[in-house]
Amino acid sequence: MIDPRLLRDEPDRVRAAQAKRGLSDEVVDVALAADTARRQAIATFEAKRAEQKALGARIPKASPEEKAELLAQTKTIAAEVKDAEAARAAAEEQWNAALLAIPNLAAEAAPAGGEDDYVVLEHIGTPRDFAAEGFEPRDHVELGRLLGAIDLDRGAKVSGSRFYFLTGIGAQLELALVNMAMDQARGAGFTQVMAPSLVRPRAMEGTGFLGQAADDVYRIEGEDLYLVGTSEVPMAAYHSDEILDAASLPLRYAAFSPCFRKEAGSHGKDTRGIIRVHWFDKVEMFVYTTPDQAEAEHQRLLGWEKEFLDKLELAYRVIDTAAGDLGLSAIRKFDCEAWIPTQGKYRELTSTSNCTEFQARRLDIRGRFADANASGGSSTGPVATLNGTLTAIPRAIVAILETHQQADGSVRVPAALQPYLGGLEVMEPVTR
């Protein structure tokens, strides 16, 4: 959640941030009113408690006649204290709910607007000119069939639409991508993690996925558990309710997990192939750092994503996502989008978000920081969290197959990936 002091001291700044996201600023007024009501409820409760204590202190010194009257008054005041305590608890709940409804404030550098208002920061590589090479490129569905790599028909038969099997070289390709991503992450100092895909509600709420993204989340009926759409969720909750030593920061993790998304609102979009699916595997980078280092760490995460895409020899671009297309927790997000030849456009392969202290406040993750003065003391405060996709398997496979295909339906393996496929240089068709 945002810093409550920011809401109280600079409400107009919060209103401006809402406008930049294209959202109503009504939540600001609701939160301010809830804060006032909460403060009043606390004051009323404390006054009643003080009155109760003062009354209790008089009873031992009272005469028998006064004591009977005072005891009668204690029953009345006890009921009033109980009511005041209940009112205070209700006001606290309303205040917390109002705070949770406010997204993180988009960075000043983030473009204003919605999904189509992104800014292209750079292009890397040049899309292949298949016409100049003399053949029409096949899409990943046909290539996957030729290679015996992707089985969509049986995926639909077994699990329904937007499911698939990776078979043969397709399964090998997934494992190769995961291992190459994990090796790169380990080399950059990340701790490798195999993360759970089921989490409790607090982890989902703490990362902001029960807010605007709630419709895209799978809940396990009859159990207090959710299937995650990204290992950002378990990794953000990994250090919940902990105080981290500032000297240990940054803590960098690279987590593998299956991911599950309902793809709510995507009816009719990407119905062919494995671009938009309900289940996929992913390697996600997650970082805890000091708030003053968050922006620099964000650039580092983007750099690691670009390094991985460069190894895959893809043509891609980097975009600065507009504020209205940011997740609840992020102040800024960079996407790397690879050129997909048969679609004639760039599609997102990775993204990295700076969530500053927003998730840490919700999950009570603090750092112990040395005081700025010379006293030698320390104090605690929220840390910053960031996340970045190193590889989301299906889309990486789509980009590799379509980009590196050859006229006969075979697919050239990028040099950096070859050692992870036993030295294989070309994926050959198994059917004609």
Indicate if 223 belongs to the active site: no
Query: Could you tell me the two tokens for 419?
Result: 């050692």
Query: Could you tell me the two tokens for 89?
Result: 């608890």
CA angle 175, 176, 177 (to 5 degrees): 90
Measured between alpha carbons, how far is residue 194 from residues 171, 190, 253 in Å?
A: 19, 13, 10
Indicate if 276 belongs to the active site: yes
Q: How many helices (H) and strands (E) does the chain have?
A: 13, 18
Q: Which letter, b or e, does each residue of 334-359 get, where b requires 16 or more Cβ atoms within 10 Å of its Cβ?
A: bbbbbbbbbeeebbbbbbbbbbbbbb
Annotated active-site residue in 88, 138, 162, 261: 261
In sequence order, which residues have a C-beta less than 8 Å from that of residue 6 and are 6 or more positions away?
A: 13, 14, 105
**Can you tell me the distance from the alpha carbon of 368 to that of 170, in angstroms, rounded to the nearest whole number?**
46
| Element holding 132 (H helix, E strand) | helix 130-133
- Which residue in 344, 317, 339, 318 sits closest to 400, CA to CA? 339
**Can you tell me the distance from the alpha carbon of 382 to that of 385, in angstroms, rounded to the nearest whole number?**
10
DSSP strand pairing (191-194 vs 251-260): parallel
Indicate if 395 belongs to the active site: yes
DSSP assignments along 292-323, one per residue: GGHHHHHHHHHHHHHHHHHHTT--EEEEE--G
Annotated active-site residue in 49, 276, 317, 368: 276
Q: Helix (H, G, I), strand (E, B), or coil: what is residue 218?
A: strand
Annotated active-site residue in 197, 329, 351, 353: 351
Indicate if 348 belongs to the active site: yes
**Can you tell me the distance from the alpha carbon of 12 to that of 263, in angstroms, rounded to the nearest whole number?**
35
Which one-letter amino acid corresponds to residue 67? K
**Can you tell me the distance from the alpha carbon of 169 to that of 413, in angstroms, rounded to the nearest whole number?**
11
Contact 142, 426 (CB under 8 A): no
**Can you tell me the distance from the alpha carbon of 51 to that of 61, in angstroms, rounded to the nearest whole number?**
16
**Can you tell me the distance from the alpha carbon of 413 to that of 333, in angstroms, rounded to the nearest whole number?**
30
Q: Helix (H, G, I), strand (E, B), or coil: what is residue 281?
A: strand
Indicate if 221 belongs to the active site: no
Annotated active-site residue in 38, 361, 395, 402: 395
Active site residues: 261, 276, 348, 351, 395
